[in-house]
Amino acid sequence: MNDVFAVLGDPTRRSILERLSGDGPATATLLADEIGISRQAVAKHLNLLADVGLAVSERRGRETVFRAELGALDAVGSWLDRVQGEWKLRLDRLARRVESG
C-alpha cells in the first residue's frame, strides 16, 4: 500500500492510470502519443504502475497492452478508513475526559 502512495505521487502516472481506466487498455506507444511524452518514459511509468498492481500487461498478438487494475486502490481506501476509525476512538477518549472533568 505504501508503494501505491509513492507511485501515485506522480501526476504523469496518475494521467496514465486515468487514461487506462477511462478509455480502456492501450499500448505504451499509443499512450505516449496521447500524453505527449516518449514511449520510453511511458514504459517506465507503466512498469512502476505494474509493480504495485495498478496496471496489468497482456500480450495481444505482437503487441503488449496495459489495462488499469484498480483493486490496489482499495488499500488506499482501507488506510483512510482505518486511520479515521482510530482517530474517532482517540477523540472519543479526549471528549470523555473533557466533558467529565
Partner 1 sequence: MYGEAMADVQTDAEHEVLIEATPEEIWEALTSDDGLDDWLGEGTEVDPVPGGEIATPDVVTDRPRRGHVDEVDPARRFAFTWWPEDDHQDRSQVTITLVPTRAGTLVRVVERSIVGVPAAIGRMATAGSTTPAPAFVDWAWRASLVGVRASGSVAAR
H-run or E-run covering 26:
strand 26-27
Alpha-carbon distance values, 74 to 5, 13, 44, 77 (Å)? 12, 18, 23, 5
Rule CB under 8 A: say whether 29 interacts with partner 1.
no
The single residue listed with the C-alpha cell 494521467 is 15
Set of cell numbers at residue 21: 481506466
| Site string (51-80) toward partner 1, x via CB under 8 A | -----------------x-x--x--xx-xx
State the nearest-atom distance from the C-beta of 58 to partner 1, in Å.
Answer: 20
State the nearest-atom distance from the C-beta of 90 to partner 1, in Å.
Answer: 5
State the nearest-atom distance from the C-beta of 40 to partner 1, in Å.
Answer: 18
Edge-to-edge order in the sheet of strand 26-27: 26-27, 63-68, 55-60
Which residues in this chain contact partner 1 in the complex, by CB under 8 A?
2-6, 8-12, 14-19, 21-22, 35, 68, 70, 73, 76-77, 79-80, 83-84, 86-99, 101
